[in-house]
Amino acid sequence: MKQTLKNYLPVIYVILFFLVVIGILFLICFIPMFYDWFNGQKIVQNHIREVVGNKTNDAEIAGALMQWVHDNVVYPDNNARVNILGIEFYKIHNETKFFWRDVPASWTIIRKRRMCGEDANYFVGVMTQLGYKARRVEPQGKNHWDHAWAEYYTSQGTKIVLDPSSNQIISPNLHRWVENKSFTKIEAIDLKGNKEDVTKEYT
């Protein structure tokens, strides 16, 4: 019995090793979420004071947030990346660094790394904390256009659609925005995960 167990020890060690590695990677995946649970609201509030300041005009507030993204957040090299369980390794200024995808606004504020999804999450997260109704917008479908942007409602209830990644207002040219793009539908998603099909607004 002891000899049989001894024969299996190398296999057991390998299995345990991989379980530990997978467990560590799993925990790493949730670092941005854990951070947001403990510090997110404070980080966003401080960010609002610094970036928005005393602005009260809806357009000026939205513009300030998009400009901050444009001026401060790094876009990794999309041609040099490896994805491991949702953690991506990118080249940023010729250095290989961690890059978490689909993170909350607080993480983008701190880490200053982003792609279009992170830009949209940042804008929606900050605008929501400011009291606006804001949602991330993205295409759906097989081989769909891989992009995400955002929308918010002004104090007067007017919907404004914009793209934080390119620092531009899309409204009212929604049809032109998706022209020649591949998708079966377009969804608007709030921070709670509630989805609405808004395809008709774009087609």
Residue 189 pLDDT: 97
Residue 28 pLDDT: 62
Instruction: Please check whether residue 70 is in contact with residue 83, taking contact to mean a CB–CB distance below 8 angstroms.
Output: no
Compute how many other C-beta atoms are within 10 angstroms of the C-beta atom of residue 31. 14
Residue 98 pLDDT: 66
Residue 143 pLDDT: 87
Task: Flag whether the pTM goes above 0.85.
Answer: no
Low-confidence residues of the chain, pLDDT below 50?
none
List, in sequence order, every residue forming a beta bridge with 162; answer none if it has no partner.
150, 169
Listed by start position, the domains of the chain span 2-202
CATH of 2-202, one of 1.10.10, 3.10.620, 1.10.3470, 1.10.260: 3.10.620
Give 151's DSSP letter. E
pLDDT digits (tens, 9 = 90+) for 37-92: 888 899 999 999 999 999 999 999 999 999 999 999 887 766 656 665 556 666 66
What does the angle CA 55 – CA 161 – CA 126 come to, to the nearest 5 degrees? 45
